[in-house]
Amino acid sequence: MVWLLTIMGRHATRILFVGVFAGLALPGLASLFRPLLAPSVVILLFAALLRVNWNAMTVYLRRPGLIALLAVWLLIVSPILSWLILSVFPIPGSLSAAMVLMAAAPPILGSASIAMILGLDGALVVVGALLATLLAPLTVPPVALQLLNIQLDIGLGTFILRLGLVVAVAFAGALIVRRFTTAEALAARAQLLDGIVVTVMLIFAIAIMDGVTEAIFERPGTVGLWTLAAFISNPLLQLFGMLAFSWLGLRKALSIGLLSGNCNMGLLLAALPAEKDADVLLFFAIAQLPMYMLPVALVPLYRHLLKHNALTSKTFS
């Protein structure tokens, strides 16, 4: 099993690219994996905390101004910007609402692992994703109400408690492992940890794809339009995030771009009102596709940009 996970970690982006279609090809697995959605979030954060440099995380925590600015961008500016842009185009109301809600959601906690696989700043991504996740119950409901006139049924105390429990369990597990394992040993097992992350992300993808296969056959036009919108909105949000924080340098800007485009819509599934719009939920599922497929396409681009940036920095240093 260890060797298999190591191989999966070595080819993480390719496996995610192919594996996301398992949820479409094997719809019967969705109901089987659905109870694993909550544990998968804990495991993703736990694996990221084992992979990331905690000293680097501390450096960012000592810069509260930057972290606060990042949270404002992710949770407030990004959905408002999306709402303003989408209001110009004649697109279905459900699609527009889903895309704004996506922008308002915090980043997926697994984005830290994806960042490290891509060679980006994992410490910055962990801090940004954690803070945005913890603040989401305070920001998502008013943003949804003001921009979309949607009343989200979120029990604030319960939601915060659940999120806090996820973070606490993951941190406690990582602290225990780090207490009895050296940093060198963890670094030597980086591909094994990446393999665990890939496995958990695939389980999540299969679970959330429940019902999408049926929709493809029943409403292919809607699914096609929703898919096109997902593959446009994700990279655009990444681009906007990168440009907004370009003053931090290329590697950090790319990391924040990754946070901006890969949003945790799973958190919103429980928050939507009882009369959930099926088309909104359909977009939430389809929007997983670019999150799983784009990394493999972006790896060569990231490597080229980071290598060119490093060479340029040495030239002018």
The pLDDT, as a whole number, for residue 316 is: 42
Q: Percentage of the chain with pLDDT > 90?
A: 22
Give the per-residue pLDDT at 309. Answer: 66
Q: Which two tokens stand for residue 293?
A: 């497929």
Residue with the bigger pLDDT between 268 and 146: it is 146
Give strand pairing partners of 263: 107
pLDDT in tens, 189-230: 777 777 777 787 777 777 777 777 788 888 888 999 999 999
Per-residue pLDDT band at 277 (split at 50, 70, 90): confident
- What six digits make up the tokens of 117? 């696989």
46-60, 85-99, 150-164, 176-190: least confident range: 150-164
Q: What is the pLDDT at residue 258? A: 92
- Report the distance separating Cα 189 and Cα 244, nearest Å: 35
For 249-275, the pLDDT digits (tens) are 988 999 999 999 999 887 776 556 655
| Per-residue model confidence (pLDDT) at position 311 | 55
Spans of all domains in the chain: 2-316
Residue 154's φ and ψ, nearest 5 degrees, are -110, 120
Q: Which residues contact 116 (CB under 8 A, 6 or more apart)?
A: 48, 51, 52, 122, 190, 194
Residue 310, helix vs strand vs coil: helix
The pTM of this model reads 0.82
- Which token pair is 221? 């036009």
Structure tokens at 203: 């389980």
The 10s digit of each residue's pLDDT in 72-125 is 999 999 999 999 999 998 899 899 999 999 999 989 877 777 787 778 888 888
**CATH for 2-316, among 3.40.190.10, 1.20.1530.20, 2.60.120.260, 3.40.50.720?**
1.20.1530.20
Residue 177 pLDDT exceeds 50: yes
Non-local CB neighbours of 278 within 8 Å, separated by 6+ positions: none
